Amino acid sequence: MYSSMDLKYLIIGFLFSLILSAQKNQTEDDLGTQEVTVVKSYRPNLKNVFKISSIPEIADSLIQKKQKVNYTFKSVPVISTFIPNKATPLKLKRQKVNRFHNSYISGGVGIQSEMLMNFSSMVSLDRYQSAGLSLRYNSLGGIPGTIMESTEKRLTLNMLHQYKERNMRVDSDLRFDSQRHNFYGLKDIKWENIPSFRASVVNPLQRLNYLSLRSKWQWYDNALSKLNFNTHITTDYFDSTEYIIKINALFRIPMFGNYLELIPDFELINSNFTRGYYIDESLAFKNSLTQLKTQFLNVGRRLNFRAGVNGFILSNSQSKFKLYPIVELTYKSSNGKIVPFFNYKGGYKLNSFTSLSLKNPYVAPTLDIQPTEVDQDINLGFDAYPSSGLSLKMVAIYCKFIDYPMFLRFPYDNFNNDISFRLGNSYGVIYDAAEKKGMSTSISINLSEFNRISLITSYLDYKRHNDEPVWNTPSLTIDINGNFKLGQKLFFQFTGNYISSRDVVDHIITSNELSEKSTLLQDKLGSMFSTSLSVTWKINSEWDLFYRNNIFYGNVTSRWAYYQNQTQLNLLGIRHKFDINL
């Protein structure tokens, strides 16, 4: 047995031998020293927030010595001829801004007792509303050589109101138009040999008064897209009256990615004359037209078409109901420069004393008012846009009419009772079946905002079913319009109008009683060509000086036989532009 002391020494000796052995192995196999860098992403901890950042140390430039830099210069001889100019400040010029005034007034006088006065204003009432007023008066002296007075006067008054919101718009206007002229177009014969003609007693005055109230409603995001209302009253010097009411709407309903359009329309015309031309009885005409147009509108990328049907109910002495197809095709080429189109439709058109007198102011206040049926109306053509600012249009036209209206001169009434329009110098209206076919072309060149010119030419051949002439209807018409600006202050505007010869009636004045079956003598009225030139000089932003010239060339200066116009008119006037703020 070992004692505790011996065991203690034994353990110490064993450990000492192990240490000596480890030192010996280290001496024999030395691994060397290596450095290991452990990279660990920094993850901030809340406890690091409150640590005080160490202040960076900056070297003190007062203690450190500056390094000395030595520069060496080498002189080089240079010859210079440059003489510097003294700089002058740029002079800024204020650019003038073209202001558009909301009102203007103008007036002018010319030869042949011509006078012109014009006032126009359109003022904003608030963010949504605007109101306007326009007044125009012009007069012209008599034509030399006429047996009866041939002066002309016209007064037009128009009050406007406009209301606009984001999704709707309403335009309304009240218009009064008074035209005063005379039945002076007598034949060139010896009137002293006709005892029933008393020039000193006859008053040739005719005063036509037109009063209309119109309102147009438009919605941009509604099935009811448009609603139009128009009422019209016409009176004259001979107690004629006419009332017109028109109401139409447009419903556009989305369908299959396109639209279904419903267009209801109602028109009522009530015409009254104190007496007929051939009978001593009052005349009254009442015509109403109700129609519903239903059509499908396809708006494609290139091909657009509209197809539908139009139904008419005509109410007069003989009520009628008819349906007409509607076809409209338009195709745009890949480059968009040529757009061919085709239109086919038919329908009714209500004639009125108002529309006929506006077309021919010398109609007698005793007319036969009948509707016109358009059995076929076909247009085939194309629009072309060869280059920027240049556009062309060519269309072939064919129309077939039932009861087409024509102006026919009334014969002389030996029992005229000194009534001015019964002297063979007024026009009536007759109706007959007719065809119209021909070609119309137009060209427009837009060089800039103020420089443009357009030319429209139409050749239309009219034929009646019995090969009789279509009275007072020219076959060739040419219209040219142009605007030009020279510099900053000079503006030119001109128009030219040409109408070819037309067939007219020339009655022989006899002592026989007036009859509808009186012999018609066919005659021709020569072609007519007229030009109008207007020159405006802008004095400043508020004042303009203008000159206007009208010339008729040739012996014929009017579309209507024996009614001539002044061969030349010259008018000089001034215009003032200003603002009215309410």
Quick one: which of 485, 566, 482, 561 has its CA closest to 530? 566
Q: What is the per-residue pLDDT for 95?
A: 59
Backbone φ, ψ for residue 27 (5° rounding): -70, -40
Q: How far apart are CA 425 and CA 364, in angstroms?
A: 9
Residue-wise pLDDT tens digits, 522-546: 899 999 999 999 999 999 999 999 9
Residue-wise pLDDT tens digits, 295-318: 998 877 788 889 999 998 888 767
- Encoding tokens for residue 503? 């067939």
Q: How far apart are CA 462 and CA 475, in angstroms?
A: 7
- pTM for the model stands at 0.80
Instruction: Band the pLDDT of 44: cuts 50, 70, 90.
Output: low
Residue-wise pLDDT tens digits, 484-514: 999 889 999 999 999 999 999 988 888 888 8
Q: Which class for 285: exposed (0-12), middle (13-18), buried (19 or more C-beta within 10 A)? A: buried
Q: How far apart are CA 493 and CA 481, in angstroms?
A: 8
Distances in Å between the alpha carbon of 525 and those of 59, 229, 422, 518, 550?
113, 40, 21, 21, 21
Q: What is the per-residue pLDDT for 47?
A: 47
Q: What is the per-residue pLDDT for 480?
A: 97
Within 13 Å and on the Cβ side, how many CA atoms surround 564?
22
Which residue in the block uniquely carries the two structure tokens 């204020």? 94
Residue-wise pLDDT tens digits, 138-179: 999 999 889 999 999 999 999 999 999 999 999 999 999 999
Name, in order, each residue with C-beta under 8 angstroms of 38's C-beta and a sequence gap of 6 or more: none
Rg of the chain taking only CA atoms, in angstroms: 46
Quick one: which of 277, 493, 249, 289 has its CA closest to 366? 277
Residue 46 has pLDDT above 50, yes or no: no
- Please give, one letter per residue, the 3-state secondary structure of 24-55: HHHHHCCCCCCCCCCCCCCCCCHHHCCCCCCC
Residue 301 carries which DSSP code?
A: S
∠ Cα 394 399 401 (to 5°)? 160
Quick one: which of 209, 238, 570, 162 has its CA closest to 421? 238
User: What domains does the chain contain, in order, with CATH numbers?
Assistant: 103-578 (2.40.170.20)
Name, in order, each residue with C-beta under 8 angstroms of 140's C-beta and a sequence gap of 6 or more: 112, 113, 114, 151, 152, 153, 566, 569
- Encoding tokens for residue 286? 């009442």
Instruction: Band the pLDDT of 438: cuts 50, 70, 90.
Output: very high
Instruction: Band the pLDDT of 50: cuts 50, 70, 90.
Output: very low
- For residue 193, the SS3 value is helix
Q: For the chain, give the mean pLDDT.
A: 87
Choice between 81 and 536, residue whose per-residue pLDDT is larger: 536
Instruction: Band the pLDDT of 256: cuts 50, 70, 90.
Output: confident
Q: How far apart are CA 416 and CA 425, in angstroms?
A: 12
Q: What is the per-residue pLDDT for 90?
A: 64
